[in-house]
Amino acid sequence: MAFPKEAIELRDAGIKDPILVFDPFEKENALICQKYSLIATVFDKKHIDILKEKNNSANKTKVHIKVDTGMNRLGIDYDKAYEFIKYVSNQKEFLIDGVYTHFAEADSKDKTFTLLQLKRFKELIAKLKSEKIKLGLLHAANSGAMLDLPETYFDMVRCGITLYGYYPSLETSESIKLKPVMSILSNVTTAKKVKPGETISYGRRFKVKNETKIISVPVGYADGYRRGLTNKAQAIIKGKLFNQVGTVTMDRIMFDIGNSNVKIGDKVVLLGNDKKQSVTAWDWAKILDTIPYEITCGIAKRLPRVYE
């Protein structure tokens, strides 16, 4: 998990498996990690000091050590990591439960830099192992590496976007067959006939050419249905695709259904499949010039989640 707050949600939902928190270690997290049995990521002596100060249990504190091999975001630099990991291994209150790194461009076709990161990580691990330092679980692979570089697997992989059934980019292989698992479903709440020349929504960015029926759906940009999708996205109703029309508003969007037999209450698939049609996070990402990651994690909390 990125943050302890998210891990608490999982614990509250009854998840008992080990949870690793990626967030750099701050004081307020120490007690949360203890209370909820979360494993902290550490990469600085100050993280160890905080944990020592706050730990009031007799058990050893499990930590994973993050090594920066080239992402330059979080972790101890690979050329300083040997000393740090040795230092942690000598702390009797601590158990090194894992050592990991993160790749900057494993989803690119060109794997040169990923292989350099891997080399840096492997050399470090070999040096530590030669001194019999216990390192716990070694991990590095994100989705791109999981698809294309089995040599990065070590003891486990940390895949994110592939869990949603999406490839991380258009450049990886499809060595594992995926299909999207998240849908955004809503219903038709209003329907009206609109005459030629009339315009739809704020800014009047859609003009009706021929008389048509316009329906509205109670989802808007406050839910993560981004305003940039205006006049460009589609949704599926009864297995047929319809165009979104008029500016996406905060709480509502409109679709042009022509003279189709769509009724109030009918299911609207904003994202997902219905019969032979599909709307994917890639469709939205292309319109919005972004990646599926930003779509899947941009769906607001206001939309209730249903897990099947």
Ligand X SMILES: Cc1ncc(COP(=O)(O)O)c(C=O)c1O
Residues forming beta bridges with residue 194, ordered by sequence position? 212
Which stretch in 42-50, 51-59, 160-168, 180-188 sits in contact with ligand X by CB under 6 A? 160-168
Q: How many helices (H) and strands (E) does the chain have?
A: 8, 16
Question: In the bound complex, which residue of the shown chain has the CB atom lying closest to ligand X?
Answer: 160
Nearer to ligand X, 85 or 194 (CB): 85
CB atoms within 10 A of CB 45: 13
Binding status of residue 70 toward ligand X by CB under 6 A: no
C-alpha span between 23 and 7 (Å, rounded) = 11
**Alpha helices, DSSP H only, in 90-214?**
112-130, 143-148
Binding status of residue 161 toward ligand X by CB under 6 A: yes
- Assigned token pair, 243: 């165009």
Which stretch in 12-20, 86-94, 154-162, 269-277 sits in contact with ligand X by CB under 6 A? 154-162
Nearer to ligand X, 88 or 141 (CB): 141
Site string for ligand X, 21-60 (x = CB under 6 A): -x--------------------------------------
Binding status of residue 158 toward ligand X by CB under 6 A: yes
- Assigned token pair, 162: 């592939």
Binding status of residue 114 toward ligand X by CB under 6 A: no
* Phi and psi torsions of 28, nearest 5°: -65, -20
Binding status of residue 172 toward ligand X by CB under 6 A: no
Q: Which of residues 227-266 bind ligand X (CB under 6 A)?
A: none
Whether residue 21 contacts residue 3, with contact meaning beta carbons closer than 8 Å, is answered with yes
Q: Which of 274, 273, 243 is nearest to 257 (CA)?
A: 243
C-alpha span between 128 and 193 (Å, rounded) = 72
Binding status of residue 143 toward ligand X by CB under 6 A: yes
Residue corresponding to tokens 């698939």: 269
- Select from 24, 123, 133, 160 the one that contacts ligand X (CB under 6 A): 160
Binding status of residue 20 toward ligand X by CB under 6 A: no
C-alpha span between 124 and 194 (Å, rounded) = 68
Binding status of residue 142 toward ligand X by CB under 6 A: yes
Query: Shortest distance, CB of residue 159 to ligand X, whole angstroms?
Result: 4
Nearer to ligand X, 40 or 219 (CB): 40
* Phi and psi torsions of 3, nearest 5°: -130, 150
Binding status of residue 98 toward ligand X by CB under 6 A: no
Interface ranges with ligand X (CB under 6 A)? 22, 102, 142-144, 158-162, 168
